[in-house]
Each structure stands twice: as C-alpha cells, then as structure tokens.
C-alpha cells in the first residue's frame, strides 16, 4: 500500500515503471524496497541534500530489518560544475570498494545532476544495473528523473556523453520542495511551463492563473503541476523512448539554453534559468516566422517573468557565441542547426526552416522584453 497522492506509469512494455507523487514518501521505506533488486543498495546524494534527507532514507531501510541487506551511501559535491566523468568515477570507485555486484540497486537522492550521474553510473557499472530516482528539486521531479536520459557534461557541450537507462521507479516526495531555495524553484517552473507550450495549451492557461500560488508551494496546486508535467512526459517517452522523433520536442528552449550554460560556465546559470531564456528566444523566432502572434509572445514572457525567470540571455553573450555553441548540439544533423519552435501555443515542431537572418535577429533584437 502507498499513500502516494498520484501514481503514473511510464509505459515501456517489460521496462515500464511507476512514478509516485505525494508528500512524505521518503518516510515510506516499503514503497522504496519493493523496487530494490538483490541484497545491495548504494545511495548517491550530494552535500546539500545529505544533511536534509539521507539519514531519513537510511533509517527507513534499516527499519525494514531485511536480513543481509547491505546499504552504502556516497556524498558528492553539489553543483552542475561537478557533472563530469571524474565525478562518475567516484561512484564506480565506491561500488567496487564496497564490492557491489550486478544485482545491486543504485538510488539517486537529489536533483538533476545527481540523477543524471547516478543513472549513467548504473548504465555502465557491470554493463548495467538497476537504479531508482528520488528527485528532490522541482526541475528533477518534473523532467530529468523521468525518461531514462542519463549522462554528464563535457567542456565543449552539455549532456553530450550519456546513455538511455530507465529507472525501476521514480519517487517524488513533494515535501522536499519545502527546503528548495526560491531560485531553484523558479528554475523548475521553466520545465513545467515547457509542457504547456509544446503540448498542453489548457495547462499553460492554468499556470497563468495559478503561478503566484505555485511559487508559494500551495500543496494541492504544486502536486497537480508535477502530475500534469510527468503525465505529459510519460506519454512522450512511451511513444519515442530514444528520441527519434516526438521526444525531441521536450528540448524546447534547450538549444539556446545549453549554449548559455556552456558559455557562462556550468552552474553559473541554473539549467532552468537558461531554458527559460531559451524558450523566450524560441517564442521570439516562432513569431518572426509568423507562426505565433506578438500577443502570444507577450503571454509567454509574462508567465516566465511571473515565475522569476530571466527573459533573455546574458548581456555579455553575443550572436557568434550562441551560434558556435548551438552547432555542438545533439539535434544538429550534417552541420544544420535544428530548433524546436511553436506553430501555435501547445503545438511544437522540430525544424531547420527558419533562416539564419531571422535567427540572428532573434539573438540580437528581441521583440518583447
């Protein structure tokens, strides 16, 4: 039994898995244990989350009194700047030192950085072991913990090294948002807004109506926003697990955003902040193409602003820098930049049919700020 407020399923056949959403789920170790394989567990977290939630998780597992269960933990440095192969090697070191075998289960306790690195380590350790996502930030709860994308950054490009590796389950304890800094909450709202823009116009309108209460973490509303976001992503992942088509739409705003993160140094702009600015740019270009109206661009920017997100990239970043970084993007094919743009609110496409002149105008002279 579980008191999860919502339960979703990511439908991937024999690799399907549940997403549990509710308050206090970290204090339900039986919910976690039913998805653990074997007799070994490695919890990977960071030095921000560990003092808040690690002991609760470890005490819960111990309270089950499972004979022979080996539970180890590893605390890494916090921050996007640590999301690289050297840090993943620390996970491998600990697994080997504690003699974890191929039936072990890794548990990612933290935000998107911890989830991505732990998932990548799980994909590679002994050619693949199971793992569980316990995301503690809004951004990781609505986006990175769902769908099996794992990986690390490279100095020349964000998330360019990784693997698809689906978790056993995702456990979203909404209570963890109570300790989330306001800036991190805003960053997570960028990914929530994304779902409304690419697929669910009614959800976008709902966000416009409720954004101020969401920023105050009104319990019912924040749970509903997480559920709607995860449900949208689960549908898209089920239809296109390895991003051969529809799943690319989830990268709306990300090509611009990744360019900002790479140029400014990982961690200086939060991922969600960069994506927020990137979505504003994508909306601007969509308007220049005549696909969405000037008034719709204003609505998008108003919601971003109300969410506490930037409306544009850093002042010191110029067109040439954007274009150089955008050429190193997973969606580039044969040297051609492809972007996710809006044909209308709630309907996005992947396209290279936008003209370099219009792209440069977007990067130089935004229509609305």
So which residues are the catalytic ones?
Answer: 127, 149, 191, 233, 243, 247, 251, 254, 258, 271
- DSSP label of 36: -
Q: In whole angstroms, give the CA distance from residue 239 to residue 28.
A: 31
Element (H, E) at 271: helix 271-288
SS (H, E, C) 154-223: ECCEEEEEEEECCCCCEEEEHHHHHHCCHHHHHHHHHHHHHHHHHCCHHHHHHHHHHHHHHHCCCHHHHH
Residue 71, class by beta-carbon neighbours within 10 Å (0-12 exposed, 13-18 middle, 19+ buried)? middle
CA atoms lying within 13 Å on the CB side of residue 147: 28
Q: In whole angstroms, give the CA distance from residue 359 to residue 362.
A: 5
Give the position of tokens 């964000």. 158
Instruction: Count other C-beta atoms under 10 Å from residue 26's C-beta.
Output: 20
CB 1 within 8 A of CB 153: no
Q: In whole angstroms, give the CA distance from residue 322 to residue 314.
A: 11
Residue 187, class by beta-carbon neighbours within 10 Å (0-12 exposed, 13-18 middle, 19+ buried)? buried
CB 286 within 8 A of CB 360: no
């Amino acid at each position: 039994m579980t008191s999860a407020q919502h339960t979703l399923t990511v439908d991937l056949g024999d690799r399907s898995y549940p997403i549990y959403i509710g308050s206090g789920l970290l204090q339900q170790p039986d919910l976690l244990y039913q998805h653990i394989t074997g007799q070994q567990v490695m919890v990977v977290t960071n030095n921000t989350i560990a003092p808040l939630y690690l002991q609760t998780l470890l005490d819960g597992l111990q309270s089950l009194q499972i004979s022979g269960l080996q539970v180890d933990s590893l605390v890494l440095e916090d921050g996007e700047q640590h999301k690289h192969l050297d840090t993943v090697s620390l996970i491998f070191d600990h697994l080997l030192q504690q003699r974890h075998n191929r039936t072990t289960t890794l548990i990612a306790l933290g935000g998107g950085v911890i989830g991505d690195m732990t998932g990548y380590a799980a994909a590679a350790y002994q050619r693949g072991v199971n793992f569980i996502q316990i995301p503690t930030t809004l951004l990781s709860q609505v986006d990175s913990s769902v769908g099996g994308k794992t990986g690390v950054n490279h100095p020349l490009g964000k998330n360019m090294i990784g693997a698809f590796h689906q978790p056993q389950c995702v456990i979203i304890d909404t209570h963890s948002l109570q300790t989330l800094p306001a800036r991190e909450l805003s960053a997570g709202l960028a990914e929530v807004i994304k779902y409304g823009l690419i697929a669910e116009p009614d959800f976008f309108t709902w966000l416009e109506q409720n954004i101020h209460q969401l920023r105050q973490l009104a319990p019912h509303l924040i749970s509903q926003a997480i559920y709607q976001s995860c449900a949208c992503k689960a549908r898209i992942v089920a239809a296109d697990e390895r991003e051969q088509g529809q799943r690319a739409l989830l990268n709306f705003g990300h090509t611009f955003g990744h360019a900002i993160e790479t140029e400014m140094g990982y961690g200086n702009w939060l991922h969600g902040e960069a994506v927020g600015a990137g979505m504003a740019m994508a909306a601007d270009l969509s308007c220049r193409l005549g696909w969405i109206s000037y008034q719709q661009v204003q609505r998008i920017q108003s919601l971003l602003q109300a969410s506490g997100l930037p409306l544009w990239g850093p002042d010191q970043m110029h067109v040439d820098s954007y274009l150089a970084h955008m050429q190193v993007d997973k969606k580039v094919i044969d040297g051609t930049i492809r972007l996710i743009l809006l044909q209308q609110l709630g309907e996005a496409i992947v396209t290279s049919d936008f003209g370099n002149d219009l792209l440069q105008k977007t990067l130089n002279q935004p229509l609305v700020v």
